[in-house]
Amino acid sequence: MPVTNEPQQQNPEQPIPVENTVINPLSDTTPDQFSANTTTTNTSDANSIRVTISDEIAPLVILFGPPACGKTMTLVRMSRFLKEEGYTVSPIHTFRPSTDTNYSSMCDNFDQAMNTDYAAESTEQISFMLVEVLKDGRRVCQLLEAPGEHYFDPNNPKSSFPAYVNTIISSKNRKVWMIMVEPDWKDDSDRKNYVKRVVDLKKRMRPRDAAIFVLNKVDISPIFGGIGRTSITRALREVNNQYPGIFTQFKNQNPITKLWKDYNCDFVAFQTGTFTETGSGRLTYQEGPREYCVKLWKCITKKIRG
């Protein structure tokens, strides 16, 4: 049966044939690699990994959201779309140390994972990577994908950001924060705690940074009006009802521009695709409508240009 929400982590006891195993670039190791090269950089703790933003000019686009909100599959869908549009999407090897063999493996297998017909499994706690988007040899932006637990952990809502996220926040680059929300997510207390985390994030944003709220899984929302026909006004109202106060910090305070622009952020509805379970229990992935990618990329390019 079709499953329209994002895939959850697979049951580890369920056997998967070796020939069908797909390496997830955002999962640091394959089972055979796990114990290899223990004398290299410690990758068992995200806080021990030093990251480097070599390009301090190209804007950073950060997919920000809780676990299983669809960040990885958003990267997959947008990567495919951008390649169709003539862009090059590839991992930045210098983001993590050269001694980090796990990250090297993630980078080497990036294209394979972006093109697989299977849904990505939950991102490992230490799996985060920086990806570049190039057009005609020019770096348009840099995309950061990371485990949702590093941004907001519902089981530990007051936990601090890991070291590399703090490095990203403090970097000189202009940043575009893609803040993910989804319909009917968890419980009211979880949503309120997520709002608090977004409020804290906004306080650490620089004036030239930007925010895009992405309503993912719009196809399962009660306000879904068809492909590309969902009312943004209704969607905004629904998100504000479910996540009270999430837009408050983005309220436009300019006495002139607030007359036609209520908030200093953008809002986009999105669907990564459809997920269908096979007889063996694996989830296959079918791309979502292209219209959503067009609108999201248009919004991103507007923000990275300032």
- pLDDT on residue 22: 40
Measured distance CA(211)–CA(253) in Å, rounded: 16
Query: Is residue 8 pLDDT above 80, yes or no?
Result: no
Measured distance CA(131)–CA(61) in Å, rounded: 10
Q: Is the domain defined by 50-305 classed in CATH 3.40.50.2300?
A: no
Percent with pLDDT over 90 in the chain? 70
Query: Is residue 93 pLDDT above 70, yes or no?
Result: yes
* Mean pLDDT of all residues belonging to the chain: 85
Q: In degrees, to the nearest 5, what angle opens at C-alpha 144 toward C-alphas 139 and 146?
A: 160
In this structure, are residues 22 and 112 in contact, taking their beta carbons and an 8 Å threshold? yes
Domain boundaries, the chain: 50-305
Tens-digit pLDDT profile for residues 199-258 = 999 999 999 999 999 999 998 887 887 887 788 889 999 999 999 999 999 999 999 998
- pLDDT on residue 44: 66
Its pTM stands at 0.84
Q: In degrees, to the nearest 5, what angle opens at C-alpha 230 toward C-alphas 225 and 231?
A: 120
- pLDDT on residue 1: 45
- pLDDT on residue 26: 53
